[in-house]
Amino acid sequence: MRRFCPWLVGLLVVASASPLRAQDRLQDRINVVASFSILGDFVRNVGGERVGVTTLVGPNGDVHVYTPAPMDAKKVADAKLLVINGLGLEGWLPRLVQSAGSKATIVTATLGIAPIKIDAAPDPHAWQSVLNAKIYVANIRDALMAADPADAAVFRANAQSYLKELDGLDREVREAVAKIPDGRRKVISTHDAFGYLALAYGIEFIAPLGVSTESEASARDIAAIISQIKSLKIPAVFLENISDPRLIRRIAAETGTRIGGTLYSDSLTAENGDAPTYIDMVRHNIRTLSRALAN
Amino acid sequence: MMIYDALIAPFSEFEFMRRALAAVIALALGGAPIGVFLMLRRMSLVGDAMAHAILPGAAIGFLLSGLNLFAMTTGGLIAGFTVAILAGAVARATGLKEDASLATFYLVSLALGVTIVSIKGTNIDLLHVLFGNILAMDDPTLLVIAVNATITLVALAVIFRPLVIESVDPMFLRTVSRAGAPAHLAFLALVVINLVNGFQALGTLLAVGLMILPAGIARFWSRDITGMICIAVASAVVSGYAGLVLSFQSRVPSGPAIILVAAALYVGSVLFGSVGGLFRQLFPGRHLEA
């Protein structure tokens, strides 16, 4: 909440000075719909009180396989701006926009980011690098300023202070990574969402060999993971997708690795969770990684 | 060297394979004899029914202490015992046959389980949590399985005579002794123990398979109970070992691999078994003609 303070105080001053005007202004807030929770957080930070933000895929939801509900069509229809990630993340969205008959301007937050390719398809999880997050914020700022020129100054100021925080966050992450000894900056992870984090900060995310997360693992799968961990000398495993915790403990015991924790990739948590905002999420992830990889 | 690589290296190289093998052998020692008696008493499907009876116990364990494996296993054991003993008692005290009363009780139990879970309002797959994985044997699980197998063998030794006599001639036993009823109830308790044991290890309802299939195999190779039990245990051990190797060399999940090997042995036994196998019936040996 700390980052809200400066302009919140400012807003309160304005509000107390002219209560009537403030109420009018609350009513003509622009409706912005964000496709998932992380984008919603960005919009909220830039727009502040001047925008009303709704997210289609809320906290803890999976944006990849989301099935829109009728309520979502209504939200999209009422929106003035629709902020999406792009890069193929929201495959379900174009049809929703069409069927809702929405006249919203669509803002692609990843505009200007050079995507990593996974087998020719772009990897959409660009927000995992804080530097990319800054591009997201700039795109959202520009879109908000275009949609509501009257409040352009507010958006610019909000964005500036938020970007400054993101700079600090980026430094924080780099310092944390620098503290991890060189040879230990690698983990086994079933997540395929950390390509940008890996590229930006030099932590290697290695996919376990031949693990299908859906079916029951065979003895061969487990043996392959164990050999891989041993031969690459990997200090920690993040294998949340393997459903049986005992199996993960067995792998860890046999290889002498540490069991990591939960890394958040695609969505924020609810208000009382580990990662209610983007900044909290990045901090949580890097703290979890540091703890697992420290000597 | 090739044979060593294929058959022994997996176990010498990986501790989880050794643990899995130990677990499977313990399961075979306890479960296979139980399976033989189930078969002789025409109760082969009881195992499956009991598996469902265990759910409400696991659900109550879950309600009381969350996703705690120990609480859920204990709850499952208690529920299984209750259903087994109630069903057994009703069958003994009234004219209702054992299978009918067991079906009644396990369905009631299953309904209670589903109700309890839905009251809690979670869609967590309880059975999935209750079930373990043969590849993930930690020390406590391994100990529990070994202890249960030991209990089973000792208890079977104690009730062996009345159990055998009751299996082949219950009327006779009733005229000479009153050990029939307690022996029967003790046997049902052993069935429950071994089922829960099997769930811990094999991960799915396939646990029942490691009890019943070896018994079916043994039936085709021996006429007396001692021989059947020995062959059942041996074929269960072989299935366990070969299943693990199969799972290691191919991509088949371990639980199904073990049962599939047992099934292959069963098919072989049906065809070539020395006691009532199909080929034996079609081409009786020369020595029988003399």
Residues of chain A with CATH 3.40.50.1980: 25-173, 179-293
A113-135: average pLDDT? 89
**Chain B residues touching residue A249 (CB < 8 angstroms):** 136, 138
Q: What is the pTM of this model?
A: 0.69
pLDDT at residue A213 in the model = 47
Give all strands (DSSP E) within chain B, no chain letters.
none
- Determine whether the interchain pair B136/A220 forms a contact, defined as Cβ–Cβ distance below 8 Å: no
More confident residue, A58 or A124: A124
pLDDT at residue A1 in the model = 44
pLDDT at residue A201 in the model = 92
Tally of CB atoms within 10 A around A23: 10
pLDDT at residue B255 in the model = 83
Separation CA B24–CA A48 (nearest Å): 62
Reading the block at residue A147, the tokens are 């949609």
* Domain A179-293 = CATH 3.40.50.1980: yes
Q: Which of A219, A250, A254 sits opposite B254 (nearest CB)?
A: A219
DSSP code for B96: S
Topology at the third CATH level for domain A25-173: Rossmann fold (3.40.50)
The number of C-beta contacts closer than 8 angstroms across A and B is 74
Sequence-distant (6+) residues with CB within 8 A of A272 are: none
Q: Which of B138, B255, B256 sits opposite A246 (nearest CB)?
A: B138
pLDDT at residue B68 in the model = 65
Window 155-174 of B, Cβ < 8 Å to A: none
Q: Name residues of chain B where pLDDT drops below 70.
A: 1, 66-69, 120-132, 203-205, 285-290
Identity at A292, one-letter amino acid code: A
Separation CA A169–CA B236 (nearest Å): 59
Q: Residue A90, class by beta-carbon neighbours within 10 Å (0-12 exposed, 13-18 middle, 19+ buried)?
A: buried
**Whether the complex's predicted ipTM surpasses the cut of 0.85:** no
- Determine whether the interchain pair B16/A222 forms a contact, defined as Cβ–Cβ distance below 8 Å: yes
Would you call A237 helix, strand, or coil by DSSP? Answer: strand
CA distances from A259 to A152, A212, A264 (A): 47, 19, 16
Separation CA B113–CA B107 (nearest Å): 10
B101 CB within 8 Å of a chain A CB: no
B135 CB within 8 Å of a chain A CB: yes
Residue A173, pLDDT > 90, answer yes
- The residue to which tokens 């804080």 are assigned: A130
Sequence-distant (6+) residues with CB within 8 A of A12 are: none
B141 CB within 8 Å of a chain A CB: yes
Asked whether the beta carbons of B277 and B269 are under 8 A apart, the reply is yes
- Determine whether the interchain pair B136/A249 forms a contact, defined as Cβ–Cβ distance below 8 Å: yes
Closest CA to B220 of B172, B165, B275: B275
